[in-house]
Amino acid sequence: MSYIAIADRDREEDMHHPKSWFTTYIWSQDHKVIAIQYAMTAIFVGVIALLHSGMMRLQLGFPESFSFIAPEDYYQFITMHGMIMVIYLLTALFLGGFGNYLIPLMCGARDMVFPFLNMLSYWVYLLAVIILLASFFVPGGPTGAGWTLYPPQAILPGTPGATWGILLMLLSLVVFIVAFTMGGLNYVTTVLQARCRGMTLMRMPLSVWGIFTATVLGLLAFPALLVSGIMMTLDSTLGTSFFMPAILSMGEVSKTEGGSPVLFQHLFWFFGHPEVYIVALPAFGIVSDVLATHARKNIFGYRMMVWAILAIGGLSFVVWAHHMYVSGMNPYFGFFFATTTLIIAVPTAIKVYNWVLTLWRGNIHLTVPMLFAIGFIFTFVHGGLTGLFLGNVVVDLPLSDTYFVVGHFHMVMGVSPVLVVFAAIYHWYPKITGRMFNNTLGKWHFGLTFLGTYSIYLPMHYLGILGVPRRYFAMGSTDFIPESAQVMNAGITISALIVAVVQILFFFNMIWSLRAGKKADSNPWRATTLEWQTPQTPPGHGNWGPNLPEVHRWAYDYSVPGAAEDFIPQNMPPDATHTTVDDHARARDQADEHAESAVGDELFGEDE
């Protein structure tokens, strides 16, 4: 089959370029188009999930003021918000979006190794999204079981969407996993097999390392969600009792008996915890590249960073039960998982120190992507430290199911990855669109988002310590919660609404700059990695023009003493570092033209 060779093809003229508008932009096998399709779809559902959180905050901040929010609605908002944000937005955006865009470009390939499968992956993902959104229009509405979908309540009458909603959710997840597997096999194989000459594993940018490792985690962890999803579907439709115990529900004894709800929890979190790192590892990688580029300094401890990514990936499979301290499991079990959880803090802390040390005495440019990347270090340290609290069984027990947990996980895997998403979009926007974004709008967007999210989530920790429980539609008369907690809740809601509205700045900037933005040159940040060295901006089909690049150095040669400029691109040969990058590019183009005309002469000669 022809598709194997595309990524490896040395010569551009061997490639089959799409012929019609439809195959160029819709039914496209080009990794860059697929990346944009993935990202657009993910951001679209993300906005829906953002609206859900707005509705939840209205109810929490001003209870009894909004008659159109019923308790069932509230639970449906919670569930859909959580599931969409974690899976359909963040996973799809980091791996399907950035993974697709960056892997072939950063590795020096022409495309993914299986472009057709890659295209299929997007369309199957879109199908999963459509199935998920369809659940808003079925009798009973979407499931309100909480994003963890714990049985038995997820499929018992009384829970919103216990009939159609939950089935569509499970079906959508299964379809998503199929889509992810198709994409994931592609990303992993491309990284392993389609790097250009000279791009050894230890020369790969950390973005690729993060995305690669996260993909491997996804391939091995999503099966747990698949397995539990299939079993719960059977419990719900055929009346099996994998997870369903004997139960008295609304005055009736169920036909099921003996099933184990805790078994579901184990399976769910065996997926659920690696999922945190499926989102975090690409963010770690991208942040490393953004920091190094905008601080004009090589990343501190590159090899340590790579090994830390791999160590975190491995350890993430042995910490899952720290989400289950209150499930009644054996205390020794809790001890084991608390220990592994604290161990995972070591490689994570190494990464944080290395980011800070990369900034140390760097030539820091406070560009918009850099601001978001530095903002990420703050929110991630904050969320990480509260994670240490919750990783300890004795501290977790009183804080479990309170707003402390909500504050913690939003800080660590809500705000932090989203800040990186913004950093990445601003950083690569000039390459993707060929235009610069508006800097002032970008800075306002950063400032308001960063401070705004802090004013949402920091107070939540206090609410949690007061004992305010999460997942409650309304507190009612609860003696131990002071009046002031409600004032704080109202304040959080106002901040949340402001932050939500501020995102309009971002969308406006992105759309407006598409036409009105200043034309970007091919390497506006003067970065070293390969995606900035493409002959065209945005890169054309096949990425590299006539010949594939050759890599001569690692990805972080910034401010090298004696070099003509403060960065040396990865494809710059060792003997050319005293020339400027522009001179080198010009010489390379001339050589390419020469090569092309030589090939032309040869062909012409043969024809004669």
Question: Which residues contact another protein (rule: CB under 8 A)?
Answer: 1, 4, 7, 113-114, 181, 185-186, 188-189, 192-195, 197-203, 219-221, 223-224, 226-227, 230-231, 234, 238-242, 255, 257-260, 263, 266-267, 270, 298, 302-303, 550-554, 556-557, 573-574
By C-beta, is 214 or 374 nearer to another protein? Answer: 214
Contacts of 102 (CB under 8 A, 6+ apart): 207, 208, 211, 428, 531
Which of 161, 200, 7 is closest to 73 using CA atoms? 161
**For tokens 């990202």, what's the residue?**
39
What gap in Å lies between CA 409 and CA 285, rounded to an integer?
Answer: 20
Q: Report, in Å, the least distance between residue 537 CB and another protein.
A: 25
Phi/psi at 181 (5° precision): -65, -40
Tell me, letter by letter, the H, E, C secondary structure of 328-377. Answer: CCCHHHHHHHHHHHHHHHHHHHHHHHHHHHHHCCCCCCCCHHHHHHHHHH
What gap in Å lies between CA 493 and CA 588, rounded to an integer?
Answer: 56
Tokens representing 326?
A: 């209150």
By C-beta, is 12 or 557 nearer to another protein? Answer: 557
Q: Report, in Å, the least distance between residue 1 CB and another protein.
A: 7
What gap in Å lies between CA 269 and CA 212, rounded to an integer?
Answer: 22
By C-beta, is 200 or 363 nearer to another protein? Answer: 200
What gap in Å lies between CA 585 and CA 533, rounded to an integer?
Answer: 9
What gap in Å lies between CA 406 and CA 461, rounded to an integer?
Answer: 8
Q: Report, in Å, the least distance between residue 426 CB and another protein.
A: 27
Q: Report, in Å, the least distance between residue 407 CB and another protein.
A: 32
Q: Report, in Å, the least distance between residue 25 CB and another protein.
A: 26
By C-beta, is 236 or 453 nearer to another protein? Answer: 236
By C-beta, is 197 or 471 nearer to another protein? Answer: 197
Q: Report, in Å, the least distance between residue 321 CB and another protein.
A: 13
Residue 133: CB atoms within 10 A of its CB come to 18
What gap in Å lies between CA 234 and CA 236, rounded to an integer?
Answer: 5
By C-beta, is 476 or 574 nearer to another protein? Answer: 574
Phi/psi at 179 (5° precision): -60, -45
By C-beta, is 149 or 502 nearer to another protein? Answer: 149
Under 8 Å between Cβ of 430 and 436: yes
Q: Report, in Å, the least distance between residue 328 CB and another protein.
A: 15
Tokens representing 531?
A: 């995606």
By C-beta, is 173 or 219 nearer to another protein? Answer: 219
Q: Report, in Å, the least distance between residue 526 CB and another protein.
A: 18
